[in-house]
Structure 1
């Protein structure tokens, strides 16, 4: 009678820009995805790696935290903005990966900003995909925030009178500028973290060496 091999550890990674920055870190941590992972035409969502004990899943950035928090994946890579928005108690974020740097900011039309003073706000109407963080930020200042939840195309909200202000991630600021918007406040600085499911961290002995591998990969990158 032979022992059944344990299920692979599943690492959830986000689609898009963060994944591009994370790929070299994966390689330095000794994780090389199968060729289909880099195939933009592939519709697959789960991928094998060079290690039989690790599989990757590729999902939306906001869903990474949910998959890991509920134990469907044991590890994940996600921005600190997502962690703060969902605030899952089931997540542990042991490693700042030093990638995905940007900021979560309040922006408004340049014409409004020319005469506006955020210190005088008592009520704001904001379009954002971060309603929890937005309300928390403004409540700390004694400002009532009316949040309209959008999942994308945030810059359209002021242009179409949906909301005069937005809260969104900003990197270079180019998208804001091209849509006539300017930053007026920074809510938080953002970077990507390696996250782990707390229960898996305790019950799956394979998780800790993987976390240490990512930590060493980051240290080599910054050395």
Structure 2
């Protein structure tokens, strides 16, 4: 069992997922599913702008256009709502993450890694929610388990390793593979999740193609030699 897998197993004891299906007592609304989805969408919009600690259920209710008690009716608490939102993002991202590696095994290492970076940036620059939420909360916590759903970051790392092992046949030492994946995720949280800050430091527009090109060049420089090492095993 890898270090990431051990952390996932440990975090499952703190997961509120078993309680998400339990609604507060009361009469359900006629458009039950629609209201729940509106709340989830609003939570996502609020949590990409405010950390878990700074956001409130009243802010989310206002964004969703529903009465505040509806948040507690459908989700029970801010913690459970955040967890449900994080799970939704994880489930959306997982099949996309798998597609980033399609066909790389038929290319040269450099060509394949370049395509992987392009695919990853094409998606995350357009849909940065997961990385932005991770960046916002990274500086606002003491214990990572204070943030509901943090396990989905670990699960994404574990999924990346599984996909790489299945499609690319990793040969590097376990420690090198885990370090590569952890550092890659951490850098992307910074470069993409906190791109407004990072781009301005570089005197660039975070939405401009010039910044995207810089992120790709930096990623190739930092991670291609490492990627090559864990595939060749030397």
Whether these two folds match at TM > 0.5 is no
**Structure with the larger strand share:** 1
TM-score (norm 2): 0.27
**Structure with the larger helix share:** 2
Bigger relative contact order, structure 1 or 2, given CA contacts below 8 A and separation 6+? 1
